[in-house]
Amino acid sequence: MLLLPFVVLLGTAVTVYSEKHSLTYIYTAFSKPVNLPGLHEFTAMGLLDNRMIDYYDSENQVKVPKEDWMEKHLEPEYWEKGTQSRKSKQQWFKVNIDILMKRMRQNNNDTHILQWMHGCEGETQPDGSLKFVRGMDMYNYDGSDFLSFDDNKQVWVAPIHAAEETKRKWDEVQVLKEYTKGYLEKECMEWMTKFRGFGEEQLLNAKRPEVHLFTRKAKADTNTILTCLATGFYPKDIILQIKRNGRILTKEDGIQTSGVLPNEDDTFQRKDHVEILKSDAAAYTCEVIHPASHMKVEKKWDHNCNEDKQLPYDIIIVVAVSMLLFVVGGVLVFLFWYKKMRCPLRKYIYIVEFIKILFALA
């Protein structure tokens, strides 16, 4: 169960919209069965723009599509080969967790975890093509960074002493470094372009956001907090900006944002707010642009500080449920790792599919 970050892409209405997109693969392996609902000894998943497109786990041992358009456009042979690849990686992870446990003189009383994430990020160009922005290839062991690939310098980076042996070995294998760089910059980008082409039909089902502009109490009686909420939209790419007399307010002006968060119904929400003087006579507006649904709306604040006015009940439920999912999920994950691994959970690192040449971590 990974808590995935959702990134909102900011832009302005006066420029050509430039969106960033990503394709990542995540592999997570435990040193032994954890016997908890939803957690398998080994899982692998592909994510397009943080949305799951394929999945594999050690219990079912079959790579399956998680989007209808993936199943529609890819032949059965693709899924059969993918299943065999996932099974091979499952064994690779099992061998290498054992290697790392021995290297670090760990026993099997505690549960240990090895994770790997690799993928790429691209930015749309005026002609609709995707331009490579960066590649990601990193390993994480027991909640700590273990090894990562520097795509620019074409070397492996070892942040801890236990990974230096692996770094030395992998740096000596020129074909591995060349393959890794080539995959991140070319093959991964080609697959992302192809998958995005398959998923164009999802834009036909784009959902327009509901936009609410309201105020709430500030600590100082002379101030109010102006808030703009956009919710219920899909896909997640959205532009939300609060303006004062037509000028877009920024962090330097005190703007704070929740970023794009998931709702319980596979739609998304975003909330921005700024603290202002109640006596400020300037014209405040909130502009929301949702390219997928071709929606552009700008709401104007009427200068009424209805700080006790409640949001519609369904919006309250959406926000409450979303926040509850994040809080409960985070607490459960923290408690599990703290108890099982006796080390602080710094972060979850994503991990991904691509090793055609298998090298042990030893």
Q: Does 294 score more than 80 pLDDT?
A: yes
Last residue of a domain, one of 282, 300, 318: 300
Looking at the structure, do residues 188 and 41 belong to the same domain, yes or no?
Answer: yes
Mean pLDDT of 84-96: 96
Q: Does 315 score more than 60 pLDDT?
A: no
Q: Nearest to residue 49, comparing CAs of 103, 1, 88, 7?
A: 7
Indicate the pTM of the whole model.
0.60
Looking at the structure, do residues 92 and 215 belong to the same domain, yes or no?
Answer: no
Residue 358 in any domain: the answer is: no
Q: Which domain holds residue 27?
A: 20-205
Residue 222 in any domain: the answer is: yes
Residue 255 in any domain: the answer is: yes
Q: What pLDDT does 137 receive?
A: 97
Looking at the structure, do residues 228 and 264 belong to the same domain, yes or no?
Answer: yes
Residue 34 belongs to domain with CATH number: 3.30.500.10
In whole angstroms, how far apart are CA 291 and each of 9, 51, 76, 82, 299?
A: 12, 18, 34, 34, 17
Question: pLDDT tens digit string along 93-102?
Answer: 999 999 999 9
Residue 235 or residue 356, greater confidence: 235
Burial 77-100 (b: 16+ CB within 10 A, else e): eebeebbebbbebbebbbebbeeb
**d(Cα 264, Cα 266) in Å, to the nearest integer?**
6
Q: What pLDDT does 50 receive?
A: 84
Looking at the structure, do residues 248 and 198 belong to the same domain, yes or no?
Answer: no
Looking at the structure, do residues 295 and 195 belong to the same domain, yes or no?
Answer: no
**Contact indicator for 176, 359 with CB cutoff of 8 Å:** yes
Question: Percent of the chain, pLDDT > 90?
Answer: 65
> In the beta sheet, which residues pair with residue 55?
45, 64
Q: What pLDDT does 26 receive?
A: 97
* Confidence at 202, pLDDT banded by 50, 70, 90: low
* Confidence at 347, pLDDT banded by 50, 70, 90: very low
Q: Nearest to residue 185, comparing CAs of 158, 152, 156?
A: 152
Q: Does 310 score more than 90 pLDDT?
A: no
Looking at the structure, do residues 199 and 280 belong to the same domain, yes or no?
Answer: no
Question: Percent of the chain, pLDDT > 70?
Answer: 78
**Tokens 């991904």, residue located:** 352
